[in-house]
Chains A and B, each alone.
Chain A
């Protein structure tokens, strides 16, 4: 459904996107993850036909994004990062306008259907300017799906919503993802973990990792590292000494609010480690494999790259 090859986008001399390639199948939810300025929005804007790439090609729903831009846009629904709608129109009026522009058959029935889907039926006649941010977001989503597109591109769809709305929206996206190809960007990692089949981590215009959330976690676990947290009153030297003494532990060091334990080989040291900590009355608070959350993987990947300046954009001519 989406095939991207060597996509590059420069704003003046700034390289926002550097030879990015990836693809997405039908019925797949792909998450785009990355810090601000990583190139998420740029990629999405290129894939929706808002702007052309500097180099590289992409095909969306079988159409080239540059050659068949108009045809391609028919098959794509887009929710921009900041949803900006015509504030002087009613919800219904706006959705009908979009439905007509997108040549939707029996547009008023479809608009009613979509309103039901996003739970806005009772506000159909409200002016968009009078809606809350979350409701505007839902209207934005409604306009993105009104023509039942094959590909749905959502730029930070849950930003600015309250927790209930976020949960509703995630469920809605999961539902849509069964029949549509969904690409969404986010910097909330748990979100990507919850709803995405596959995650692409972008940093400074490059893809640094691409896999399923589970697989990503697995890969980074191979090093065999554990995260340990003990009660606050425990002296760090004491903890280091106790942990180091456990058979199978290779190295231990203080890390953020706890300790990072490197394990030798493939031995499961957790029972012994837990027993040792408790045995020395150190109050075991937390013991888990490191990098269980995408957040940690993400921090790992993006900071590691930052420390290697050589890997940052070797394209001096760009």
Chain B
């Protein structure tokens, strides 16, 4: 546990010295800010406020930005050769992987927390006496959507980390991670093109969107969705650990 914490802490502080991490935070905030602005203008007091619109967009952006946060974690270490010293430290291989993952997840959580500013704006608008909106901001779905996007982000980062362990090249790692997540995201649309209903449903159940957009985002916290994301995290971290371990046997 101790070594996981130390490694996670190092990775987290690395994000604050790396330009890519700032760029990712900047891009996500700019895109969600634009999304929020459009939403705000459209509703303009005539429609009930919806705090989850921003998070719906955030989910889609995560597909592209999560691999940018994780692509260097293991790829850079093996290219630079720093992994050799790391693997001779009195630390389990799994601790290295989990530590790096938690560092990335924590940074993702920080970016996610920055979007709370949009909810604060909604609250300020809807509770201001002059612009009383009816109904007020429904806080329930907002909370469930935050829980959902947080788990979704964790799963996306875990998948990204897996591809960082596969290659020494950061660009390849990032690209593969994005492709994999994009396919997982689009699995939701499979139902529209696959004739066989059982197969279509099975594919849909494997997609990221099916466990986020149609549940957490509309205020439903289902056990199966929580299990899906946590299972995805644990499963991919396990495979990643095996990939790191396999370096020793080459």
Contacts and interface: CB of A to CB of B under 8 A. Distances in A.
Interface string A82-96: 101111110000000
Contacts of A100: 6
Given A74-B90, A101-B91, A52 B85 contact: no
A85 B82 contact: yes
B90 A51 contact: no
A49 B81 contact: no
Given A51-B249, A52-B248, A82-B81, A88 B14 contact: yes
Contacts of A70: 90-92
A53 B127 CA distance: 69
Contacts of A48: 88
Contacts of B6: 97, 100-101
Given A50-B84, A51-B248, A88 B17 contact: yes
B55 to A, nearest CB: 32
Nearest to B81: A84
Contacts of B2: 103
Nearest to A88: B17
Interface residues of B, number: 22
B179 interface: no
A298 B85 CA distance: 31
Contacts of B172: none
Interface in B71-118: 80-82, 84-85, 87-92
Contact of B80 (A49, A87, A102): A87
Contacts of A180: none
B84 A98 contact: no
A97 B249 CA distance: 27
A8 interface: no
A174 interface: no
B46 interface: no
Contacts, number: 58
Interface residues of A, number: 28
B84 A49 contact: no
A106 to B, nearest CB: 16
A97 B91 CA distance: 13
A48 B91 CA distance: 13
A49 B18 contact: no
Contacts of B18: 88
B76 to A, nearest CB: 9
B3 interface: yes
A259 B145 CA distance: 87
Interface in B2-17: 2-3, 6-7, 10, 14, 17
B85 A80 contact: yes
A42 interface: no
Contact of B89 (A71, A84, A87, A98): A98
A84 B168 CA distance: 15
Given A78-B85, A86-B14, A143-B85, 20 more contacts: A45-B84, A49-B87, A50-B248, A51-B249, A51-B250, A52-B248, A52-B249, A73-B89, A73-B90, A74-B90, A78-B88, A80-B84, A80-B85, A84-B81, A84-B84, A97-B6, A97-B10, A101-B7, A101-B90, A103-B90
Interface of A: 11, 45, 48-52, 70-71, 73-74, 76, 78, 80, 82, 84-89, 97-98, 100-103, 143
27 contacts: A11-B250, A50-B84, A50-B88, A50-B248, A51-B248, A51-B249, A51-B250, A52-B249, A70-B90, A70-B92, A73-B90, A74-B90, A78-B88, A80-B81, A84-B82, A84-B85, A85-B85, A86-B82, A88-B17, A89-B10, A97-B6, A97-B10, A101-B6, A101-B89, A101-B91, A102-B90, A103-B2
